[in-house]
Amino acid sequence: MAGLDHTHDPGLRSWVPGADGHADFPIQNLAFGVVAPSGEGPRAGVAIGAFVLDLPGALAAGLVEGEAGRAVAAMREPALNGFLALGAGPRRALRLRLVELLREGAPERGAVEPLLHPAASCTPHLPARIGDYTDFYAGLHHATSVGRLFRPDEPLLANYKHVPIGYHGRASSVIPSGQPVRRPNGQTKPRDATAPLFGPSRRLDYELELGIWIGPGNALGEPIPIGRAGEHVAGFCLLNDWSARDVQAWEYQPLGPFLAKSFATTLSPWIVTPEALAPFRTAPAPRPEGDPQPLPYLDDPRDREEGALAIDLDVVLTTPALRERGLPPHRLARSDARHLYWTAAQLVAHHASGGCNLRPGDLFGTGTISGPDRAQAGSLLEATEGGRIPIRLDTGEERRFLEDGDEVILSARCRREGFAPIGFGECRAVILPAL
Amino acid sequence: MAGLDHTHDPGLRSWVPGADGHADFPIQNLAFGVVAPSGEGPRAGVAIGAFVLDLPGALAAGLVEGEAGRAVAAMREPALNGFLALGAGPRRALRLRLVELLREGAPERGAVEPLLHPAASCTPHLPARIGDYTDFYAGLHHATSVGRLFRPDEPLLANYKHVPIGYHGRASSVIPSGQPVRRPNGQTKPRDATAPLFGPSRRLDYELELGIWIGPGNALGEPIPIGRAGEHVAGFCLLNDWSARDVQAWEYQPLGPFLAKSFATTLSPWIVTPEALAPFRTAPAPRPEGDPQPLPYLDDPRDREEGALAIDLDVVLTTPALRERGLPPHRLARSDARHLYWTAAQLVAHHASGGCNLRPGDLFGTGTISGPDRAQAGSLLEATEGGRIPIRLDTGEERRFLEDGDEVILSARCRREGFAPIGFGECRAVILPAL
């Protein structure tokens, strides 16, 4: 496995209380983000257990120097774009230094400790200014299930297994976890209506995706070869691509989803780096028998070996009634990032193949990651077969689509024998009623 | 007609040589942009005849003060986003002050003259950082002609006359006029091929559009009522939505155009303001008999009266052979912005209707503006009926789609009895061979 070093040692321990064995952010993770501690302005930070280390503070205190210091100095504005642009070298140098500062017995503990903020008292911000947001459709089972609802005879279109299908999304309405989402109004045309209506969406849905943060960019007109595509990936997060299915059905032809998706997209606020994910790299799921080989510009031997990520994904729902009665959230789905048909490197290489320029801080969504079974469906559209089969909750409530006050929470976990598990933090939002 | 004042007086004259009667930029226009004078850095400027007035220079010289001065002070970075965010008040104040400074007999002439740069020696930049770029499909005749190529029986889909159809475009690859465009490589699937190929697009096309610059934005979740939508429009430009038709045909289902459009979009670099365009406001073309009325959120009495713009549009082509032989450019199309089915205000109100937030410096494309006749076709796809009927040039050359070395030039002119004509400047780019 490439890129492993002492920072991945499962025996590595931190002096930060609760960091060892933390579900998301043990010292082996060290995810980067931007947060505003209570009553203070936003700044760059690194997640460690249930705390956030103030990185500009660490720089000012002389705790990070050299290449690692330059990495923190690039976290201006506060947004991580300048840091993302630097690529793997400074990112790794900073990781190494952070392990030195945060590991058990670190002599700098006394200087670092005052720079820790309890994560619970921090407001998450987006980690970077997103230049462009592209949403792909790389979840094979999602594309098949959704396609079957619309085209029972031809669920997957002829291009699907050749072209990493994607579309441009809306960057302005990407928001960090925790910010509520207002149910959109929009044009819909019920099947029995003679004319369209304008009003609140009645088929509000979530979509379980991974987000991919772009690091160094490429110049306009200059493609990125597949063998170097990984160098342009700065990290991963969770992404909920909220979707108004009734608006989508009426508006999407012939140019694709537009307002049905652009009212909000929620991200988990931490960038989990390729370094942290190195132990969880794996071969993509084998292509189904008879599937075409990727064209050469999408094919790379190393990517075939370890281009995918073993990430368990989890979606739960809480409703006002569940919360009032103190009942646990209802699990909507468990899935796995290995269900993606295309790797992150293939998405990057395809996106740039015609010369389109990527910029540091651009965001990709992978597309909804569903497994083959209904319990692995990454959207309600799939789980309820287009709203036909309701989900029953412990309160006796039913859900075909999301109702006001519902909250959807995505989480993820990477596990591998011999390594400390790491996670992504939460990606959550509650639905507000339409205006 | 609303918003007319002495700055629209056709008798108004300027001391700037050649400004009076200038095809694009007489003193009645005063379009804003960002240019780099020869050997110098980019800065905000206003176009006057064949010159550009350095606006930060005018501010530093004490020539603009008060509200007009604050408008120039907002043109930081250098990008006009801060200025666009201010809306109509400061924009009008600056226009009034610029007329004072540039009109015949202005006592400030001696102080202003050193701040003029010949436009020919200036490199145009994009006038603003584009947060998000949305491309609409509001050209009724274009949608009909293109639809007919794909679906002879149902050229317009059922949603077209109800929903202002649009999709998110790529902001990173929007470039200013003059910058060459490299022919993209991409996946295509020729009709007789059993598998897709990757290589240079063979069906490279242009699209004649207007661009709409967004001024003040709206908060996420808060729609913009149609009656106030005009306040969010900061100006207009020309937009060439370069398109690789063969890539588009293979990739666009089910999520819309993606790499076929994201390799380059060319803009004319000047923002022509709503104030400059006030004399050219007009009623939209009458809707064809039997068309549905717009839903209330898209319907406004004033917009019905004067929501459209009378702008003549012009597209010419030069080829290496035409240029070598000193022959004039070949006219590809003449069209008219009145062929748009939706007004700018309707596009703004629709975009924000579900709560999507617009930000200052966002860009809309209207969609290709074709007329009903082939000589008014705003793309080669339409003019050659999908490549079946070639265009013949004076050199004896034929064109079905664009070839390397070809240059497409869009221009526009607003004319109305009793007013000085104004234009937009050029939107041009030459095609470079694929890598």
Flag whether residue A367 sits within 8 Å of chain B, measured between CB atoms: no
Residue A108 and residue A142 share a domain: no
- Cβ atoms within 10 Å, residue A66: 11
Residue B138 and residue B99 share a domain: no
Name residues 94-133 of chain B within 8 A of A (Cβ): 131-132
User: pLDDT tens digit string along B68-78?
Assistant: 999 999 998 88
- Assess if residue A61 is contained within a domain: yes
- Assess if residue B200 is contained within a domain: yes
Assign B302 to helix, strand or coil: helix
CA distance B218 to chain A (A): 11
pLDDT score for B268: 98
* Residue B296 CB-density burial (10 A; 0-12 exposed, 13-18 middle, 19+ buried): exposed
A8, A22, A141, A142: the active-site residue: A142
- Assess if residue A241 is contained within a domain: yes
Residue B210 φ/ψ, nearest 5 degrees: -95, 145
Average pLDDT of the residues of chain A? 97
Residue A251 and residue A349 share a domain: yes
Residue A231 and residue A359 share a domain: yes
Known catalytic residue at B142:
yes
Residue A330 and residue A219 share a domain: yes
pLDDT higher than threshold 70 for residue A236? yes
In our burial notation (b when 16+ CB lie closer than 10 A, e otherwise), range B136-160 reads bbbbbbbbbbbbbeeeeeeebeebb
- Assess if residue B309 is contained within a domain: yes
Of A251, A356, A362, the CB nearest to B163: A251
Domain boundary among A125, A153, A184: A125
Flag whether residue B194 sits within 8 Å of chain A, measured between CB atoms: no
Flag whether residue A296 sits within 8 Å of chain B, measured between CB atoms: yes
pLDDT higher than threshold 90 for residue A347? yes
B22, B117, B141, B142: the active-site residue: B142
Residue A302 and residue A285 share a domain: yes
Please state the rounded mean pLDDT for residues A195-221.
98
pLDDT higher than threshold 80 for residue B232? yes
Q: Residue A351's closest CA among A170, A207, A229, A169?
A: A229
CA distance A273 to A234: 6
- Assess if residue A39 is contained within a domain: yes
Complex ipTM, two decimals? 0.97
Domain boundary among A125, A152, A168: A125
- Assess if residue A298 is contained within a domain: yes
User: pLDDT tens digit string along A51-78?
Assistant: 999 999 999 999 999 999 999 999 988 8
Domain containing residue A58: CATH number:
2.30.30.230
CA distance B162 to B353: 14
- Assess if residue A239 is contained within a domain: yes
CA distance B63 to chain A (A): 32
Residue B278 and residue B217 share a domain: yes
Residue B331 φ/ψ, nearest 5 degrees: -75, 125
Please state the rounded mean pLDDT for residues B114-130.
98
- Assess if residue B1 is contained within a domain: no
Residue B143 and residue B75 share a domain: no
Instruction: Report how many domains make up chain B.
Output: 2
Angle formed at CA B309 by CA B305 and CA B313, multiple of 5 degrees: 155
Q: How far apart are the first and last CA of chain B?
A: 52
pLDDT score for B77: 80
Are A255 and B137 a contacting pair at CB < 8 A? yes
DSSP state of A170: -
Percent of chain B residues past pLDDT 90, beyond the cut: 96
Flag whether residue A200 sits within 8 Å of chain B, measured between CB atoms: no
Residue A186 and residue A110 share a domain: no
Residue B165 and residue B184 share a domain: yes
Residue B363 and residue B341 share a domain: yes
Residue A158 and residue A100 share a domain: no
Domain boundary among B73, B105, B125: B125
User: pLDDT tens digit string along A301-318?
Assistant: 999 999 999 999 999 999
pLDDT score for B1: 65
Domain containing residue B365: CATH number:
3.90.850.10
Of B159, B195, B259, the CB nearest to A356: B259
The token duo for B305 is 């009266």
Q: The domain containing residue B272 runs over which residues? A: 133-432
